[in-house]
Amino acid sequence: MMLVVQAATLIAMIQERVMFMHRRVVDRGERHVMCYAPMLMREQERIANLNYIYNCNDTEALWMIRMKRAPFARLSETFRSRGLLQDSIHTSVEEQVAMFLHVVGHN
């Protein structure tokens, strides 16, 4: 019983600390600004990576996305045609599928 009371007290103290810090940031109007690399450099690197995936041989594609290029193209087109994924201003459907497959395939 005593352990439950101690755990509840600890949780309440942690919650109060988090709320205190949140109020302090909101009251000051502070916003954490994220720094990004220049878009041109990121765009060039992204396009180079995608071209590497699209234009490599099937052995390299198997190593990177765990799928040959032809099934990858069909999978991307299936997502696009069914409306499950769509191109955004920053990423294409192929890039979204490639990122997912790369992450899942490499733990």
Residue 24 pLDDT greater than 90, yes or no? no
Q: Is residue 63 part of a domain?
A: yes
Q: What is the mean pLDDT of residues 65-93?
A: 91
Query: Mean per-residue pLDDT for 77-88?
Result: 93
DSSP string, the chain: -HHHHHHHHHHHHHHHHHHHHHHHHHHHT--PPPP---HHHHHHHHHHHHHHHHHS-HHHHHHHHSS-HHHHHHHHHHHHHTTSS---SS--HHHHHHHHHHHHHT-
Task: Say what the pLDDT of residue 11 is.
Answer: 85
72 pLDDT band, cuts 50/70/90, is very high
Kindly state whether residue 78 falls inside one of the protein's structural domains: yes
Q: Is residue 70 part of a domain?
A: yes
Q: How confident is the model at residue 97 (pLDDT cuts 50, 70, 90)?
A: very high
Q: How many domains does the chain have?
A: 1
**Residue 51 is part of which domain span?**
39-105
Please give the structure tokens belonging to residue 16. Answer: 């109060």
The predicted pLDDT at position 74 comes to 94
The pTM (predicted TM-score) of the whole model is: 0.58
pLDDT, residue 48, reads 87
Residues 75 and 97 sit within 8 Å (Cβ to Cβ): yes
Task: Give a yes or no: residue 96 inside a domain.
Answer: yes
Question: Regarding predicted confidence, which is higher, 23 or 15?
Answer: 15
Kindly state whether residue 2 falls inside one of the protein's structural domains. Answer: no
